[in-house]
Amino acid sequence: MVNRNLVIAIAAGCSLALSGCQTTQQNTFSEWKNIGSEQARFNALTVLNVPVSAVQQRSRNNGQVLDEDITLACGQGQVHIEHVPTGWFSTATISSLKSRDAFESKILKTAKPDTKLEGVTYVENETGSKAGYFGNLVTPDGESCQVAKFGIRGKKELTFDNDRGAIDTYVEMKYCGDTALDTESFISSLQLSKYSNPTSPAEPGSTIISCPTVYETAANSDPLDNQRQAEMTLIWPGSFYGSQKLTIEYNKVAGAFNVALSDTNQCKGHYAAKSPETPFEARWWVLCDDGQSARGYFYPENAKSLMGKGQDAKGVEILLGIEL
């Protein structure tokens, strides 16, 4: 989800071997990895009615927590899934999923001022193994995004004597694409795909699309043998607003850098100048893990300040500034 980093961790301990372990949302991290459709833990790729352009996974707390991030339509949205394979979420977390106030607070926390939530709908089943909300996030300038926060029971079996089939999977979704996402159908159909058989092939119909790109690989073959620290401010509507420190590796006519749009969306970038006399009058290109790409030009404002302008593959205008 755009700027929507969600994390969970296992609570302080499980008791005896046949006793269940409740899980709360805390923070413990491991590395994210891009995976193919055959490794997806959930059937989201087959039940979503919008294209999927990337899937990433991580395993935390020695496999006690499994995370999956699904990028929708080349950066137009994201589904974030947190699954506990040998336990379930705590009563407090499940109560939060059932709270409309908690849903609205979570969704509006990072939204633009005066943004409204419309069409908020509660979903639940009789057994209590599904609960949450979905709705439409409408900004003052008229942009509408579909949002959801819900929990489901992913495992079919009961794992411990005290397992009552409680929610073991936490999901957040935000989608601002051109084609409407069938959120209600997605919530009702989402389930584990191949958790019990990690060597099985991908489900029929599960496809990860390739995104249109404006990225070009670096042509300069000379080594980037210099390095400097810089501060970048990036305005990429729909993807990132903010500043971050970065390291630039460079030579007389070219350079390379990395930009993090989120924990799960890293971008590699590079630039190339026509002449060593004007090293910062250069073209630049960026390619991100979620399939988004962009290109543009640097315009030096002075010896220590660069202004960059460009567009992504969808024609969205991008502004960036670098303080050297």
Dihedrals phi, psi of 12, to nearest 5 degrees: -55, -20
Q: Residue 49 has what pLDDT?
A: 94
Average pLDDT over residues 24-29: 48
Type of residue found at 305: S
Q: How confident is the model at residue 9 (pLDDT cuts 50, 70, 90)?
A: very low
Closest CA to 170 of 84, 52, 43: 84
Q: How confident is the model at residue 300 (pLDDT cuts 50, 70, 90)?
A: confident
Which phi-psi region, left, alpha or beta, contains residue 76 (left: φ > 0; alpha: ψ -120 to 50)? alpha
Structure tokens, 173? 């979704």
Q: Residue 197 has what pLDDT?
A: 52
Average per-residue pLDDT for the chain: 83
Dihedrals phi, psi of 242, to nearest 5 degrees: 155, -175
Average pLDDT over residues 80-90: 89
pTM above 0.85, yes or no: no
For residue 243, the cross-strand partners are: 233
143-188 pLDDT, tens digit each: 899 999 999 998 887 777 677 788 999 999 999 988 899 999 999 9
117-153 pLDDT, tens digit each: 999 999 998 888 899 999 999 988 888 999 999 999 9
Fold held by 226-323:
Lipocalin (2.40.128)
Structure tokens, 261? 């749009």
Q: Considering the domain 9-189 in this protein, what is its CATH number? A: 3.40.1000
Task: Confirm if 21 and 14 have CB atoms less than 8 A apart.
Answer: yes
CB atoms within 10 A of CB 202: 17
Which phi-psi region, left, alpha or beta, contains residue 18 (left: φ > 0; alpha: ψ -120 to 50)? alpha
238-271 pLDDT, tens digit each: 788 899 999 999 888 888 999 998 888 899 999 9
Whole-number Cα distances in Å, 251 to 114, 202, 275, 303: 46, 44, 11, 16
Q: Residue 29 has what pLDDT?
A: 56
Q: Where are the domains of the chain?
A: 9-189, 226-323
- The alpha-helical segments, DSSP class H, found in the chain are 44-47, 91-97, 100-108, 183-189
Which residue matches tokens 């947190």?
A: 82
Average pLDDT over residues 275-287: 83
- pLDDT at residue 205 is higher than 80: no
Whole-number Cα distances in Å, 95 to 6, 123, 131, 166, 178: 17, 13, 9, 12, 33
Determine the number of helices (DSSP H) and then strands (DSSP E) in the chain. Answer: 4, 19
- pLDDT at residue 112 is higher than 70: yes
